[in-house]
Structure 1
Amino acid sequence: MRFNDKGELRAINPENGFFGVAPGTNTKTNPNAMKSFQKNSIFTNVAETADGGFYWEGMEDESDQNIAITDWLGQPYKRGSGKKAAHPNARFTCPASQCPIIHPNWEDPEGVPISAIIFGGRRPTGVPLVFETLSWEHGVAVGACVKSEATAAAEFTGKVIMHDPMAMRPFMGYNFGKYLQHWLDMKQPWTKGQFFFFFTTMPKIFHVNWFRVGEHGEFLWPGFGDNVRVLDWILRRCAGDQSMLEKTPIGYIPKKGSLNLDKIDNLDWKELFSLPKPYWLDDMRESIRFLEDQVGCDVPQVVMDELNAQQKRIEQEL
């Protein structure tokens, strides 16, 4: 990412391809991924069919029921045995150029404008489907407090909630306090020529959570292809639509009716966007303690001010 000479944040993707977790991927959940890795692709820890094809959990309806399968450990696989054909963290990787819907200018050196930055974590309770942060500084603080339920891709076992700041914890290469300050410093006036100053145009920051569950453990949001409905709401917010917001102590959530829910039945809107006060007070205290313990005096004061202000809003407004 870089700012152009107009102060607009633009980005290019320096990578050559895509990778993803294989189990659960099929023509219903991700048809374009399936089309992308039909050739010139690499698969790790997946099962193999007798004709040299790939197989994993989620492809039960897309493969010949009579074909022999060898599991990821090299053993014969029997359907319905209860054993895993592929490792839960099995992967595919393929060239981006093979994606059927990739933008024709995806390699333009000028890049694309960045209007939104979206953080997300797997949070089974308490955290709404989507919210917009109140400012760039508030967004940086929210990013610093990202948490997620551990999955097969993490080094943890069991369903524990782990801290994953900026959804980047495994990739942090230097002092996290300095990393946060780098984010904050992006919002600075820039000089153009000798006499002209302008302020950078900062993206809006959002947080999403596709994984909230109800009292019986069921997902409250259908996920997969329906996530584009949330992206649609985000894009309309970036276009300046002010009529779709409800302000809460943690940020702006969608006003009821502003999210396209056409053909989604029995959605528990109230629960999906509820903000339980005891949960959020505990979460804020724990997040602040985490930063104090793990980052200490290197946490930018602006971030601590934002978190303390949010905690106060929760105490007074929820």
Structure 2
Amino acid sequence: MSFCSSLSSPQSLSLFSKTRPSTVSFTPRFRASADADVPDFLSADWLESRKKRPFGPRLNVNFLLIMLNEQNTYVSYCSCRFPLACQSYPGDFQSLSLFSKTRPSTISFTPRFRASADADVPDFLSADWLESRKKRPFGPRLNFSAEEAVQHQLDALKYNDQPRQDYGIEVMYRFAGFDPFERSTYFGPFFDLGQFERFRRIFHHSTYRVVLRHEERKILSSLFVEENRFKQRVWIRGSRPEEEEIFQFTMVQRVGGSWDGYWLTESLLHDGDAFAGGLAY
């Protein structure tokens, strides 16, 4: 459709004329109404319905959050910049005028959280929450130093099949600091260790199996290469005759993210060419 077709009298308007037409009449898309505060495409009661919308956050309202303890012995006032916080405290707020300059004398409501003297956790958690946290699978802890992290991993490998088979390797996998979606140099060469089964098979390789249920170990050297990087060389004698190897742990302390401050294992390398003949894992 051309521009002229939208007008009522296209014949009186010449696009190439140097003179402007005297009058052109057309019907506007929007019609102003003197007795309405809104355009025609909205309902007549639109403005009233907006005034009656459910009460919620407003840009120009400073809320006064009034909190009472159960004994009503004191009242504390605080300025609430986030109105949604008021919805956490159900009760009788009808006596509170949001635009009043005077503070109400008393307001009673039921607090959402109730303190309990005989519980170590809030009421919305189960009673055995604390015990269940203690029983979580063993792995990195924020209070472990680099030396302690290596010690716990070696202890897990020493008692590898307790309480179940290859449990020690599971602990090693939890301490591993590689990205499961990328190839890792945890054992030296680039391996795809995203699946635990592949990680487990390498520990049963003829070179690494010495660490499983080993009989004796000795720390040869320890060194902080950087502030957040630690290396330790360990001599290990296995459970089989004349089975002994030397391994090097490289621990890295994460900075930022969900593992901030934790010591994780960057690599566990054999002191030699462990995979010279290749490895099918």
**TM-score per shorter chain, which class?**
under 0.3
TM-score, normalised relative to structure 2: 0.19
TM-score, normalised relative to structure 1: 0.17
**Relative CO higher for 1 or 2, CA cutoff 8 Å, sep ≥ 6?**
1
- Higher-Rg member (1/2): 2
